[in-house]
Amino acid sequence: MATVVTRTVASMPQRTAVQTWEKIVAIVAPDPKSPARAELQKAAGVAAASIASEAPKDDGFIIHGNGPQVRVYCVFGDEAVSGDGVNEDALQASPTEGDWQMSVPCLQEDLDWSQKKLKSDTKRVTARETGEGVAANESNNRDPSAALSVNLQEFLKS
């Protein structure tokens, strides 16, 4: 059974787009000296543009390939300031060790340049259009019992 772990990060106006990205990176790649940190830094500009467009509101950053799939959403406006629905807790295990990939949500009008930019800068981070998913089974559940949680946003959509 595929598992999905979600986190929800407070974004604008609690944080700028770059500060939001830095928080996301700190959650999914907690070791500041890890190769994943350096790899994710290459995607900072595209990720910040995605966040500024509020694309990750309903379509999270998806990290898959190592353990449960991790989806990181952002909240904006009053919710970001009040902290309603925010969950920035550390993950039980880093999803960016070993063979991992990240998918960045992008608005349709930003998809083409974002894909080209990420393709030229990084081999692990790609862009997808909002509304498009990454299959939950695109993960290696080395320890399925490690982090099983309800994906509330997906549940409420159904």
Partner 1 sequence: MSAVTVNVTTYTSAHTIAHVTSKMLLLLKEIIREVGLDPSKLADEWENLERGVSTWLKSRHLNQLTLEIYNPRTDSLVSRWDLDVIYGYGNDETFWADTEAIRYSITKAGMVASQCNYRFIIYTSPGRPDVSGWGPCTALSTEGFSRFSIGSAIGGNGIGTEISYWKKV
Residues engaged in binding partner 1 (CB under 8 A): 12-19, 44-46, 48-49, 51-53, 77-78, 81-82, 109-110, 113, 116-117
Tokens 């930003």, located at residue: 110
Minimum gap (Å) between residue 122 Cβ and partner 1: 12
Sign of CA dihedral 123, 33, 141, 136: negative
Compute the least distance from the CB of residue 50 to partner 1, in Å. 10
Rounded CA gap, 134 and 32, in Å?
27
Beta carbon nearer to partner 1, 6 or 42: 42
Name which of 54 and 91 has its Cβ closer to partner 1.
54
What is the smallest separation between the CB atom of 13 and partner 1, expressed in angstroms? Answer: 4
Measure Cα distances from 128 to 49, 70, 86, 154 in Å. Answer: 14, 16, 24, 17
